[in-house]
Amino acid sequence: MTPLRKRMIRELELARKSPRTIEAYVYAVQELATYYHRSPERISIEEIRDFIHDLVTRRKLAYSTVNQRLAGLKFFYRQVLGRDDVDLRVPAKRSKRLPEPLSRTEVARLLQAAEYNPKHRMILMTAYATGLRASELARLQLADIHSERMLIKVHQGKGRKDRYTLLSPRLLEELRNYWRIVRPHGWLFLNRDRNDHLPKGTAQKIYDLCKHRAGITRGRGIHTLRHSFATHLLEAGVDLPTIQRLLGHTSLVTTSKYLHVTSKHLSGTHSPLDLLRLPDSSQE
């Protein structure tokens, strides 16, 4: 590890940033250095803006991803290098893309496609049953499963907030079967060497593999199961504030986007075409 990276990690820890944020911010600086093949200390502001421009135009990264890269670079140049003159403001329009949840049938097909591997099946089932983010899923510990209260504790989720989410009786039964087969320790989902938690990227790869095997074309990434969790709860009659708390959203506005994709709120609505009285063309 270079002295510069050590300094950045120290400043991030002093600022009480979460491990997930530290990893993302350090990666942003590493990516910039790799892009220009030189130390970030010797990269100009205009070159940084060119790098961000490449992320937006050529790589077409999402608004939130670009914003995270910007936050990491700002922290590095201002807090680590002490360059208060750094201005990396880049006008960006927040994505209006709606969530694309899977149907219940598609979720069942996805889980069936993972039956060959108990660990893979359990990862996907837990993601759908709890609505956890991929990073939260990867860091679940056995001690977080509160079977007496039928809750799962999420430690330091987005925004460094703890919360609880659902532990269904069926999921608890499946988790117990999984434990008997796999025997995890500490972390619920261990990495390949069984000495640390599962990397977030591995969970993503597992989802992509099973999605391909199931022949599912809709939905992007394992986050789709979080969208499916929220949408199916809403369709089952659960109110938005409860779903907001389960998902760990700060604002109800964020949760309300699921109103746009649930069939429950559209099923009783008729198209204007259905209300028209047209001549019966079959009798002409």
> In degrees rounded to 5, what are phi and psi of residue 154?
-110, 115
Active site residues: 133, 158, 223, 226, 249, 258
Cβ neighbours of residue 188 under 8 Å, at least 6 residues apart? 126, 140, 141, 142, 144, 145, 175
How many Cβ atoms are within 10 Å of 15's Cβ, its own excluded?
12
Q: What's the token pair of residue 207?
A: 């989802």
3-state secondary structure the chain: CCHHHHHHHHHHHHCCCCHHHHHHHHHHHHHHHHHHCCCHHHCCHHHHHHHHHHHHHCCCCCHHHHHHHHHHHHHHHHHHCCCCCCCCCCCCCCCCCCCCCCCHHHHHHHHHHCCCCHHHHHHHHHHHHHCCCHHHHHCCEHHHEECCCCEEEECCCCCCCCEEEECCHHHHHHHHHHHHHHCCCCECCECCCCCCECCHHHHHHHHHHHHHHHCCCCCCCCHHHHHHHHHHHHHCCCCHHHHHHHHCCCCHHHHHHHHHCCCCCCCCCCCHHHHCCCCCHHHC
